[in-house]
Structure 1
Amino acid sequence: MQPLIVPPAAQRDEKSIQMLSAWVAEKGLHCSLKIGMWQENGRSEAPAWGILLADTIRHIANALQESYGQAAPDTVASILEALQNELDAPTSATKGDFSPGHS
């Protein structure tokens, strides 16, 4: 397993919460999700996840720009196109169990 580093801000903030982890393993995507945190705090879960994913896409675009010189707006457009294509016609099934995380 090749874990990623925990960002310094998350290490400094004792109230930080890990929301999403994703691994490619056994020829598929495997995720751990912190579902329910927003709902428990009076917010709608789905739109909050949309914001988290949008912020994640911007982080990916910025990282690709810094690492490989790819224009961030072009990367965002390419990711959104691939995202919509995958939602419309999945290349693999989404399967697995959901186990609520610990608070």
Structure 2
Amino acid sequence: MTHEAMKLNQRPIPEAALRDGDAVEMLRVWIAEQRLHCSMKIGMYRETTNIPEEKAWGTILADSARHVANALEAGSTSNASESLQKIRDAFIRELGAPTSEVTGDFVLRH
């Protein structure tokens, strides 16, 4: 079955990305075959700026966590600040003591 023929449960592209001709997709995350799979654009910062990739990705992940916390607040009675703290705590715990091995796949897109 081709990708076009498959009905995928994809998230919509943000309107700002559709409007901006310079928009770049940096990260796509899927849970498939009971594993996490990622498609990442690695190296863009190294190629275009003096910003270290690790710092750029730290910012991307932190901003993503804020978006999740805000979405949780908008969709329920959760408080964004409390949700962000819980996300941060879970992130730190998971980095220190992973609940599973990283056995999925990733695709680097340049």
TM-score normalised per structure 2? 0.86
CA–CA distance in 2 between the matches of 1:19 and 1:98? 13
Same amino acid, percent of matched pairs: 44
Match of 1:13 among 16, 20, 35: 20
5+ long unaligned stretches in structure 2: 1-7
**Cα distance change on mapping 1:67 and 1:2 into 2, 3 Å:** same
4+ long deviations beyond 3 Å: 95-100
Of structures 1 and 2, the one with the larger relative CO (CA 8 A, separation 6+) is 2
RMSD of the TM alignment (CA)? 1.3
Q: How many residues align?
A: 102
Aligned to 1:6, the other structure's residue is in SS state coil
Q: Partner letter of residue 33 of structure 2?
A: E
Q: Partner letter of residue 26 of structure 1?
A: E
Match of 1:94 among 83, 87, 102: 102
5+ long unaligned stretches in structure 1: none
TM-score normalised per structure 1? 0.92
